[in-house]
Structure 1
Amino acid sequence: MHHVLLIDDDQPLTALFADFLRQEGFRVSCRHDGASGCELALRQQVDIVVLDIMMPGMDGIAVLRELRAQGTVPVLMLSARGDAVDRILGLELGADDYVAKPCPPRELSARIKAILRRTAVLQVGSPPAAMVVGSLTLQPERREARWLDQPLSLTGIEYNLLEVLARHAGRVVSKRQLSEQALGRDLERFDRSIDVHISSIRQKLPRQADGQSRILTIRGMGYQLLKD
């Protein structure tokens, strides 16, 4: 039973989400302020945090900063439709995905399951072989990435995206493919989450000798990871 932590000051909405998720087979904990939610997330073993951005006191962005400073627990952000800047900031700080409020409980559950699948929380079976692309090595069974034997600090979704690009190294991968294979959902119109995550990965990968990124943007088509 996977443990979901809901952090949102909207108590009726949180109760609605919690009831639905429990029916879906999740263990659910709820906190209605950022400080106590952050404390619980760091103190207990939770599989995913669903985190509202707009909260009094310690808001969702501050909670996310603290969580990312101390670990890699998957984080799904909840945001009002007008909070585009905060959504992008959340992704840049390492959130795995976001959902705009109001959000149907079924969609929230589907997003949670997609993130858990992609971060291997729900996966079982034989460990896949390591992937090597030039100086980059990916260990799918441990979800680790290394460059010349130095670890790369990636969030869950960043690892997913890099793995998809590595599997198609030297070829262009469309944003639709990346969304489906790395985020576990269809690409939505005006969704910039892929671009934000790719930008973060670029900052963590060493650049080429000429200073250019190892991940190319192919306008109108997608992204390409160079083989070397």
Structure 2
Amino acid sequence: MTYVFEPPVQASVAVLDSEGRFPVRRIFCVGRNYAGHVREMGNDPKSEPPIFFTKPADAVVESGADIAYATNTANLHYEVELVLAIGAGGADIAESDAAQHVWGYAVGVDLTRRDRQAEAKKGGAPWDTAKAFDQSAPISAITRTPPAADARIWLAVNGDTKQDARLGDMIWSVPEIIAHLSRSWMLQPGDLIFTGTPAGVGPIVAGDVVTCGVNGLPELSFKIAPQ
């Protein structure tokens, strides 16, 4: 096949203890999935079904990278999340079958332009500008081994812990997330699912070093560099 210009490099994520890489097809994200975070954003945690939004595949950034402070914002926020790497596709997946579709697990951060998100919410507009920007999805290496159901999830900025919770605090479990998501999209191998963030989100600035993890998974770290 001949293209009118060279196609972009396939976005991918490192796999723990392997030279192989996980090719990224799409990135789905779950909003408002920890009660504490829902409340700190001024909402009722039981008022609505899961909220989904997306990021471009090439928003992924490797652990250890320097990430430029995002343009078009004065209020860049961190949100640590458990990430699911889908290895088997499907639609209308039953909760009882959901685990069979997960290839691996990682730690991710949903970087957010909080000021742009506030504007979108106020105007009833999509969240794309707030969520789907360049380098907005830092992610650790993927491992095949799942974390414990109630594993600790945490994030620190310059060594100061900001988020500290348990996966068991999720409003919607991993099987429920996959089942709900697959009712609206045909999941495919290469899809990533960021499963929501606990309370404690906040701003980061140039020079900040972010470290985060889910117990049992490879840790993620990155630095915010100047624009």
Please report the TM-score for the alignment, with normalisation by the length of structure 1.
0.23
Tell me which of the two structures has the higher relative contact order, counting C-alpha pairs closer than 8 angstroms and 6 or more residues apart: 2
Where is the strand percentage greater, Structure 1 or Structure 2? 2
Rg comparison, structure with higher value? 1
Please report the TM-score for the alignment, with normalisation by the length of structure 2.
0.24
